[in-house]
Chain A
């Protein structure tokens, strides 16, 4: 995985496989305090204690199509080699919250990548799922939810190609503005 946006796509896929209908993605970029955190919270089927303990075992998966599950182990490895960690809190029937934390200025921390594009791909490919996306840069943040988008679009599908392009532009512009207004 070349950047964190790719990891995000992968982790969201786990939430979707767990039957989540609401997925909250939060990216906290905080150079001032030297950390970057990425979290994905869902209301999927959750995991029991045994599944949680095996989560970082690459040879454990709940899927039947193959016998390996590399998404979480890869993210944990990336976080730990970047001076951070990975935490997962889960409760059967309620959902899961995964948080990966990285040392912001660590040489091995992958770049954030194109989060706007990653979110739009997920939103457009899963129109039945409610996504909430929050991006913060130091103390300022930007938030958008698919419920707000659906209200604005008034029946026009989220996976329309022109609409996808517009949403991506809106997320990207707001993220860039947060950074530009805080250049020190």
Chain B
């Protein structure tokens, strides 16, 4: 397969993708998506947040899960980094601590897909503004 090197290549590839998938549909209904936030301040990055974020992106793509992965700053849980906040539609946010690649996959397999909680959930003592 040819590699994407220019904006024209990107445009063509995007058009092919649009014909075969629902990428535009998903963006029209963000409230139906699982929101995954990876804490990426100094503490998170130094503890491996980027690897975790890449693993989450790979896994939700592989499982075709309607989710969006974003980042956030330090929530004050530096001791427990990398931390990941997951908000499923209609549910309160849950913050998972000490997340590595294995745990990132467990979060998706167990919590997101099967509503099963995991060890290491942090108390919700912060407010989202």
On A, residues with C-beta under 8 Å from B are 1, 5-6, 9-10, 13, 16-17, 63, 65-66, 69-71, 74, 117-118, 121-122, 124-126, 148-149, 152-157, 159-167, 169-170, 173-174, 177
Asked if A10 contacts B42 (CB within 8 A), the reply is: yes
Asked if A166 contacts B74 (CB within 8 A), the reply is: no
Knowing that A10-B40, A10-B45 touch, tell me 16 more A-B residue pairs with CB under 8 angstroms. A13-B71, A65-B75, A66-B76, A69-B42, A124-B70, A152-B7, A152-B14, A159-B68, A160-B26, A160-B27, A162-B61, A163-B17, A164-B57, A166-B13, A173-B3, A173-B5
On B, residues with C-beta under 8 Å from A are 3-7, 9-11, 13-14, 17-18, 21, 23-24, 26-27, 38, 40-43, 45-46, 50, 53-54, 57, 60-61, 68-71, 73-76, 78
How many angstroms from the CA of A161 to the CA of B14 in the assembled complex?
A: 12
Contact of A170 among B5, B23, B38, B54 (CB under 8 A): B5
How many angstroms from the CA of A99 to the CA of B54 in the assembled complex?
A: 27
- Given contacts A166-B4, A166-B14, whether A17 and B73 have CB atoms under 8 Å apart is yes
Contact of B27 among A157, A164, A169 (CB under 8 A): A157
Residues from chain A with a CB closer than 8 A to the CB of B43 are: 70
Residues from chain B with a CB closer than 8 A to the CB of A166 are: 4, 10, 13-14
Interface centre among A16, A122, A149, A159 (most CB of B within 10 A): A159
Asked if B46 contacts A6 (CB within 8 A), the reply is: yes
Q: Considering the complex, give the chain A residue whose CB is closest to the CB of B6.
A: A170
Residues from chain B with a CB closer than 8 A to the CB of A117 are: 50, 54
